[in-house]
Structure 1
Amino acid sequence: MLHKTLPLIAAGMIATTPAFAQTDIPFTLDWRFEGPSAPYFLAIDNGHFADAGLDVEISAGEGSLDAIPKVATGAFPIGFADINSLIRFLDQNPGAPVTAVMMIYDSPPFSIVGRKSLGINGIEDLEGSTLGAPPPDGAWAQFPILAAVNGIDASTITVEPVGFPTREPSLAEGTVDSVTGFNFSSYLSAARLGVPEDDLTTILFADHGVKLYGNAIIVNTDYAAANPEIVTAFLGAVVDGVRDALADPAAGAAAVIARNPAGDVDLETRRLQMALDANIATVYALENGMGDIDPARMAEALEQMTIVYDFQNAPDASLYFTDAYLPPAEERSLAQ
């Protein structure tokens, strides 16, 4: 486990911020209100945050590069963001008061979604194909790692720089053979555009040697140091929300749609189920309780990141993640 030493807290400060007083917590997501955000809304609707003495208000985001500065500046004490983006942010902004405290996507959603009818049945078919990739896409940013780990000759791949709005339409129209994206987004978007699901294949980076982690709960470290009990209570309520989502994904999607009436409850149920199955309730999380990381894997992930990113400072895993605020492992069990 990775630890960061918590500073001593004066008795007077503890008295002013009791762990179970009704405490307002603004919480920023990295994206819109969609299926994978259901655990946080279930934690509100099912009283888990309230039982922890927290009044949580959830805000949508515009990507991890939006969420991370919000937390680092203290505009939000807690947020949700991609840890790989956080690692780069901290490398470029040494000493910024932000770190990850609970891993949610133990397996990142980075993937390639292709069409079997266009020759993409698996990773071995990428060479010689046409790949659609939005330049700012998170999965595209990590593609060189996938290629390096699997010996893919990327020079044989024709890369079409598509926009996010045209990514799945390009796949549906057959102008590209596959696209980079998230497993729970690009697949469903292509299917909704009429691509038969038995014609779609998903190449999840994590299934092919990429050791990176995905999105995590992040905190402002100044806030967390002054309010450790509040942060731990928040994380415990999130675990309860994940358990609720696992038990009833449809209820989770309904909780999302209550805040996003323009959404489709059936679509978000499927999106949530895909995130739970592939990204959250992984073998590691089921065996060890959700939220923590494997230090050996993190070391490998940082080494792989050097393929796509030139660190300005020596990588230091303790800057990017701490388990100091996690509830005990038995309280993070996903067993129903």
Structure 2
Amino acid sequence: MTALSLACIGAQTGPAAGETATPTAIQFTLDRPLDASDAPFVLASTRGLFRAENLSVATNIATGPADAIARVASGSSDLALVDINVLMRFRDKADAAPVKAVFVLFNKAPYAIIARKSRGVRALSDMEGKTLGVADGDFSIWFWPALAHQNGIKPAGVKLAKFSPAVREPMLSAGQVDAVNGFSYLAGVNLRDRGVPADDLTVLRYADYGCEAYGFALIVNPAFAAGKPEAVKAFLRAAIAGTRLAIKDPAKAVDDVLTQMEGGTRDLELARLRAVIGDSILTDEVKRSGIGGIDPARFARAVEQLAEDVKFRVKPAATDIFDDTFLPASSGRLIN
């Protein structure tokens, strides 16, 4: 069949003049229950940004990052938002599906140690001789050995206490540990709702101490990306537009989020969104180069840091994990 006849078939089966093409259906997965950090995607839905791109997006919630990646790998979801470092672990398996990230939302990973000043922790160097609480399944702790090494801390000098995620904040508020590991916008914000005085908390962000890791990124099913590349590009454009709206007016963005989540508290979610924007999304790198992309040299440094704890079969290069062909030009990704 010639290219000409293919083009003719496309013209015959497409919408007639004046008609609107049927929206492309997309299954989108979040790896955890929705909160204000997901505002870019909520706004893309509530403000009609997906609809303007001729997309019909249905959002579902996975039981965690591994489940979210598995859904995309199997094709039961087309796109998902997951931590890119978890994706690296997944892709290191011999039989892993070739799932890649196509857009980085969190230019800096939100990993942090949240500590109480009253327990003697004001800076990372104060952690020696202290007890650090780590929730089961908390993958941000993968970067702890590199962080400790870079900052002259002996990992053996910090006791790691492991427990269920449900008791992480209560144990710190009760003084049963000196600090907890987690995400700055989750544990760091949730503790404000636990009766811990704000001036007694210190948030020691990994990124402020030399961690090069990127954070949450959009991943896509390979078959969907190959078959509907324009839909992937359209989803990214809508996500970028939603991010701009969230940054422009976080208070209004949170109002939209609260209509989609159960049991949210406005003050808490607004603090969460502002933390995410300031710490992870609107970084100096993003201001210079635009949102969504990856710097290969920085990515390589992050892999080396991760490799101090994670034993890779083969250390990945940026092109193994990230596909930039769906991104708009840098001028279309600038956020001021």
TM-score range, shorter chain: over 0.9
Q: Which amino acid aligns with 1:87?
A: M
Aligned to 2:135: 134
Cα deviation digits, residues 138-191 of structure 1 (max 9, x gap): 222321121122221111112211221111111111111100010011122212
Matched, 1:112 2:117: no
Q: Does the CA contact (< 8 Å) of 2:143 and 2:305 recur in 1?
A: no
Question: SS where residue 324 of structure 1 aligns?
Answer: helix
Q: Does the CA contact (< 8 Å) of 2:132 and 2:158 recur in 1?
A: yes
Q: Does the CA contact (< 8 Å) of 2:193 and 2:268 recur in 1?
A: no
Cα deviation digits, residues 219-245 of structure 1 (max 9, x gap): 012211111111111100000000110
Q: Does the CA contact (< 8 Å) of 1:114 and 1:202 recur in 2?
A: yes
Cα distance between partner residues in 2 of 1:89 and 1:100: 12
Cα distance between partner residues in 2 of 1:330 and 1:53: 23
Matched, 1:30 2:40: no
Aligned to 2:3: none
Structure-to-structure mapping, 1:268-283, within 5 angstroms: 268-283=269-284
Q: Which amino acid aligns with 2:313?
A: Q
Cα distance between partner residues in 2 of 1:295 and 1:189: 34
Matched, 1:234 2:235: yes
Structure-to-structure mapping, 1:215-254, within 5 angstroms: 215-254=216-255
Aligned to 2:299: 298
Aligned to 2:330: 329
Aligned to 1:183: 184
1:12 Cα offset (Å):
8.3
Cα distance between partner residues in 2 of 1:103 and 1:249: 20
Unmatched runs of 5 consecutive residues or more in structure 1: 1-9
Question: SS where residue 181 of structure 1 aligns?
Answer: strand
Cα distance between partner residues in 1 of 2:333 and 2:312: 33
Residue correspondences, number: 326
1:31 Cα offset (Å):
1.1
Aligned to 1:5: none
Aligned to 2:213: 212
Aligned to 2:148: 147
Cα distance between partner residues in 1 of 2:136 and 2:148: 17
Matched, 1:67 2:68: yes
Q: Does the CA contact (< 8 Å) of 2:138 and 2:182 recur in 1?
A: yes
Q: Does the CA contact (< 8 Å) of 1:20 and 1:54 recur in 2?
A: no
Distance 1:21 1:250, change over 3 A: same
Q: Does the CA contact (< 8 Å) of 1:103 and 1:290 recur in 2?
A: yes
1:14 Cα offset (Å):
7.2
Aligned to 2:125: 124
Cα distance between partner residues in 1 of 2:259 and 2:135: 31
Distance 1:17 1:273, change over 3 A: farther
Q: Does the CA contact (< 8 Å) of 2:116 and 2:178 recur in 1?
A: yes
Q: Which amino acid aligns with 2:230?
A: E
Cα distance between partner residues in 2 of 1:306 and 1:97: 21
Q: Does the CA contact (< 8 Å) of 2:184 and 2:203 recur in 1?
A: yes
**Higher alpha-carbon deviation: 326-335 or 176-185:** 326-335
Unmatched runs of 5 consecutive residues or more in structure 2: 1-5
Aligned to 1:41: 42
Question: SS where residue 203 of structure 1 aligns?
Answer: strand
**Higher alpha-carbon deviation: 308-317 or 238-247:** 308-317
Aligned to 2:173: 172
Cα distance between partner residues in 2 of 1:119 and 1:314: 38
Structure-to-structure mapping, 1:86-101, within 5 angstroms: 86-94=87-95, 96-101=97-102
Distance 1:160 1:225, change over 3 A: same
Cα distance between partner residues in 2 of 1:145 and 1:21: 50
Question: SS where residue 129 of structure 2 aligns?
Answer: coil
Aligned to 1:81: 82
Q: CA RMSD in A?
A: 1.9
Q: Does the CA contact (< 8 Å) of 2:142 and 2:310 recur in 1?
A: no
Q: Which amino acid aligns with 1:303?
A: E
Cα distance between partner residues in 1 of 2:132 and 2:116: 11
- Normalising by the residue count of structure 2, what TM-score does the alignment of the two structures yield? 0.92
Q: Does the CA contact (< 8 Å) of 1:133 and 1:140 recur in 2?
A: yes
Distance 1:65 1:129, change over 3 A: same
Q: Which amino acid aligns with 1:55?
A: S
1:214 Cα offset (Å):
0.6
Question: SS where residue 174 of structure 1 aligns?
Answer: coil
Q: Does the CA contact (< 8 Å) of 1:82 and 1:214 recur in 2?
A: yes
Q: Does the CA contact (< 8 Å) of 2:131 and 2:177 recur in 1?
A: yes
Cα distance between partner residues in 2 of 1:220 and 1:205: 30
Q: Provide the identity percentage.
A: 38
Distance 1:21 1:289, change over 3 A: farther
- Normalising by the residue count of structure 1, what TM-score does the alignment of the two structures yield? 0.92
Distance 1:316 1:295, change over 3 A: closer
Cα distance between partner residues in 2 of 1:88 and 1:261: 32
Cα distance between partner residues in 1 of 2:262 and 2:304: 43
Question: SS where residue 252 of structure 1 aligns?
Answer: helix
1:274 Cα offset (Å):
0.6
Question: SS where residue 111 of structure 1 aligns?
Answer: strand
